[in-house]
Amino acid sequence: MTHLRQLMLEELRRRNFAGTTIDSYIHGVEHFSRYFHRPPDQLGPEHIRQYQAMLFSKLKFSPNTVIVRLAALRFFYVHVLKKNWSIAETPYPKKVLHLPKILSQQEVARLIDAAKFPLHRILLMTLYATGARRAEVAHLKVSDIDSQRMMVHIRGGKGSKDRDVMLSPKLLEALRVYWRGLPRKPKTWLFPGNRRHTAEHPISTKLLWAACHSAAKRAGLEHKRVHPHTLRHCFATHLLEAGADLRTIQMLLGHRDLEETTIYLHLSRRHLSATGSPLDTLTIRGAEESTRKA
C-alpha cells in the first residue's frame, strides 16, 4: 500500500480535503485491502459489492458509515487509479438522518463541573462557548483569542473556511486562569500537546473525546453518549431557544447551507412549544362526557 497510499494522500491534499476526511478515506481503503488480503489496485467491482454487503451484514455499520467507506473507494478508483466508477453497480445506500441528542443547560453545567482535570474543564467550556468542532478547538492558536473585540477566530474550518465567533467573558476569565497555570507559556498553540503542555504541536482531538467521555461518566450522563459534537449541538440549540435567529447561528457554526442549521428547529423547546397540536382545537364530545362522568 505504500506507493498507492502516497498517491492517494497527494490527490487528497491537492484537492484540499480536511485532515479528518483524509484520515477516514485512507483508513477505508486500507480496511478494504486487508479484508481481501490483496492490494486495492487488484480488486474490482465484484470485490466492492462483497465488501459493501459485509459492512452491513457482518460489521453492522450504519448506512451513513457505509456511504463514507464507498466515497473513499470511489475517490481511490477514480482519482488514483483513473478507472471508471459505475453508480449502477455500486449504489449508495439511502442516508439516514437522526436528530442529535441535546443536553439541557443544567446538564451542560454538570458536565463541565464533573471534568476530571483543569485542562478537560477548559476544553469542555471552549467547545460549548464557541460551538466549534473538536479539531477547530484543538488547533486554536494563542493569537486567535481577541479579547479587544471579544472574538474567537476559528481557522481552517470545514471547507477551509475561517470564521469569528463570540468570546464569552466567562470563557475569557477561565482561559486566563488556565494560562496562568501553564508551566511554560506557549507561543503558538493555545492548547499545546504532551502532559506538561509544552510541545510544539497542539493536543490531539482524541483528548477532547476523552474529556467528554470522562466528564459524562462522572456526571452520570454516560447514557447520553456525550461527545465533542454534542456540545456543538447544545450551543446551537440553546442559542435558538434564547432567541437567536437561524442565519446568525448558521454563520457561527460555519454551515454552508441554511438547511443544515434548520435541524435545530426540531430540537428547540421554544419553537416546539410555541406551536400547539391541532388536537387542542377540536371539540371531542366523547372526551367531554368522560370528564363529566369522572
**Residues catalogued as catalytic:** 133, 158, 229, 232, 255, 264
Would you call 125 helix, strand, or coil by DSSP? helix
Quote the CA–CA distance of 270 and 223 in Å, as a whole number. Answer: 25
Tell me if 27 sits within 8 A of 5, measured CB to CB: no
With H, G, I as helix, E, B as strand and everything else as coil, classify residue 244.
coil
Task: Identify residue 190 by its one-letter amino acid code.
Answer: L
Question: Cβ atoms within 10 A of the Cβ of 210, count?
Answer: 15
Rounded Cα distance, 183 and 128, in Å? 26
Contact criterion met (CB below 8 Å) for 137 and 123: yes
Three-class SS of 40-78? HHHCCHHHHHHHHHHHHHCCCCCHHHHHHHHHHHHHHHH
CA angle 246, 248, 253 (to 5 degrees): 90
Dihedral angle of Cα 201, 27, 162, 98, to the nearest 10 degrees: -130
Q: Which three cell numbers stand for residue 75?
A: 475517490
